[in-house]
Amino acid sequence: MRAVADGALEENGSVIGVIPRHLVEREAAHDGLGELIVVDDMHQRKARLAALGDCFVAMPGGSGTLEEFFEAWTWLRMGLHDKPCCLLNTLDYWEGLLTMLTRMGAEEFLSGPDVDELVVDSSPQRLLYAIRARLGDDA
């Protein structure tokens, strides 16, 4: 996350960080952000991120990435928001997950539209174009 924030800042982007208090105490919070919001716990962090963001993008990551992504996608499937849920499939990182999701659909644990509504691409540029198209933003 730090590398993404740093890259955005290098391009004069606006970056808002949301971090639980216990992580501020455990690791160095990014001190170069436009805004850093400290919350009590991970539940508040995810709720704040969901409220602030226009979409959800999972880049290659670990269990925390999966947990946050699946919660956002579940909320989309339940109709709690209408924000795109996306996977940046760099070097086919998410192929195993996509295979599993396809199987879950075949076994009728997911519907076809559940999987089809995911925005997946290996190119950051194409992923951004697809997000903009979903959001109705041609810019």
Residues 6+ apart with CB under 8 A from 72: 46, 50, 56, 81, 83, 85
Length of the chain: 139
Nearest by Cα to 58 from 37, 72, 45: 72
- pLDDT tens track for 48-97: 999 999 999 999 999 999 999 999 999 999 999 999 999 999 999 999 99
How sure is the predictor about 4, in pLDDT bands with cuts at 50, 70 and 90?
A: confident
E strand map for 32-123: 35-39, 56-58, 85-88, 119-121
pTM, rounded to two decimals: 0.87
User: What domains does the chain contain, in order, with CATH numbers?
Assistant: 1-52 (no CATH), 55-139 (3.40.50.450)
- pLDDT tens track for 92-115: 999 999 999 999 999 999 987 788
pLDDT for 33 equals 87
pLDDT for 24 equals 86
- pLDDT over 60 (residue 25): yes
Cα–Cα dist 52/64, whole Å: 19
- pLDDT over 70 (residue 138): no
15 by DSSP, 3-state: which? coil
- pLDDT tens track for 32-49: 888 999 999 999 999 999
Which helix or strand (DSSP H or E) is residue 17 part of? Answer: strand 16-20
